[in-house]
Structure 1
Amino acid sequence: MPSTGQSNPSLWTPLPQSSLCPCARYKHACCSSNGNVYVLGGRDSSCLGDFWEYSVVLDEWTKLNCTGDAAPEELEQHSMVTHKGFLYVFGGMWDSAYTGARCPLWVFDIANQKWVPCQGKTSSPQTQRPSNRKGHSAVVLGSAMLVYGGFMDIKGSLREFWSLDFNTMAWSPLSGSERGSSVPGPRHNHSAVAYQNCMFLFGGLKGLREQKDFWKWNSTNHTWTCLK
């Protein structure tokens, strides 16, 4: 950008925090909804189970309740997305009652400030569902959450691709997890974002090898495209 003779202001603004704020952490989940930022779990010296809301307008943190039968346990490398006043948290735990027994999905009602049983929203018993994992990606496209890949302790990097319908709370596998060169293949710790009717996926790890490939999932015709 040509110089205008004036110093450009920094795009970053430090926000000094009060004593009531989250501790230093990594491998946490974060998303925003209606002017607030939500931070859940992660790790410092151990796995964390705290839950925070940050008001952008007030520049103020509030610690939220994360207890009860419907609330998650300590989580790390999980995902969190928002849709129509609810936060949807998926994955992120090993050795617990949820591993292999129940789908590791938790739902937080923002308006009522409480965790709600997600099983109560389904009209019929769920026959297909993803197992627990870490390091996956999750995005919202339309009225669905799309979950790709992740890591499991025995299986390693996953190539699974799942959709959660927010209206019925039913899971379904999507095409695009088949073997071949026309799909992203197994990976974890990658990034993904949603734009219009597509999901864009970049990088990650296949086993221990870093990736730099870039993919687009078209939700209209259910096809993957590798972008140069």
Structure 2
Amino acid sequence: MTSGHASALVNNLLIVWGGDTDSASNPMGKQDDGLYLLDIVSREWTKVNIHGPSPPGRYGHAVAMIGTKFFVFGGQVDGEFLNDLWVFDLNSLRAQATWELWEPAGTQRPAQRTGHAIVACGDCIIVFGGTDGQYHYNDTWAFDVNTKKWSELQCIGFIPSAREGHAAAVVDDMMYVFGGRDTSGKDLGDLSAFRISNKRWYMFQNMGPGPSNRSGHAMASVGTRVFVLGGESSPPPPIEGNDSGIINVLDTGVLKAYV
């Protein structure tokens, strides 16, 4: 059993990497560095036999898919916070499955962090937030996979507060961010959106009933709808108010008038 892992879906293949195997039943567990594939049609798992160097196991990282490439950025292991970027090309499964460490061109790159969020839009990866254990971030970065360059985006609008453990999903050129945990350890329940094309943040308030405050949850988009599931809240909500096992759905189409 693992926690803090990350996954991405491409066609009928679910890709899972990383996570912490330390638990009450396995107190000496290590960070998992295995790459696992689930065929959601046949429901069969495969552990990929990797050749050559691979990223060290970790948790709190974030992943994204662009084309056939699976990107892993950041995370933490044994108290060390990371800002490395590893790439696994699914095409390598046809020969020798290999990871590649992408050293960015230029000197700019995000600070080491865990608990951040990533989305892919076109040929770019967008990173928001996270923590290095001492400092919480609310910066926004873009990585261009063609030039292999990081750039910190100079954003305008209602920039969300610093946080970690939030989740994000993209619809068209809008990245929606929900929840997370702030610098005081309080779990959040706010919804923000970032329009990638003009680098403007939007904040939505008074939208009626929504998901409870949480961190460590997951988000995904299908069409114009964004789904929120899981997570935890500190302090835990009353039993009757705990909706972490319920799938909350946001129809982003109704927000067009505000953005």
Partner of 1:11: none
Partner of 1:53: 37
Structural mapping, 1:49-198, within 5 Å: 49-66=33-50, 68-69=52-53, 71-94=54-77, 99=82, 103-113=83-93, 114-119=98-103, 125-155=105-135, 157-176=136-155, 182-198=158-174
The secondary structure found in structure 2 opposite 1:104 is strand
Pair 1:227-2:204 in alignment: yes
- Quick one: which amino acid aligns to residue 91 of structure 1? G
Larger radius of gyration: 1
- In 1, distance between residues paired with 2:115 and 2:195? 22
Instruction: Please identify which structure carries the higher helix content.
Output: 2
- In 2, distance between residues paired with 1:143 and 1:108? 16
TM-score, L = length of structure 1: 0.78
The secondary structure found in structure 2 opposite 1:112 is helix
TM-score, L = length of structure 2: 0.69
Q: Is the 2:21–2:32 contact (alpha carbons within 8 Å) kept by the matching residues of 1? A: yes
- 5+ residue gaps in structure 1? 1-23
Give the Å deviation of 1:92. 1.0
Percent identity of paired positions between Structure 1 and Structure 2: 29
RMSD over aligned CA atoms reads 2.1
- 5+ residue gaps in structure 2? 23-28, 206-259
Task: Summarize deviations over 1:21-44 as a string: whole Å, max 9, x none.
Answer: xxx211100111131001111112
Aligned pairs, how many?
A: 193
The secondary structure found in structure 2 opposite 1:93 is strand
Structural mapping, 1:186-225, within 5 Å: 186-207=162-183, 208-225=185-202
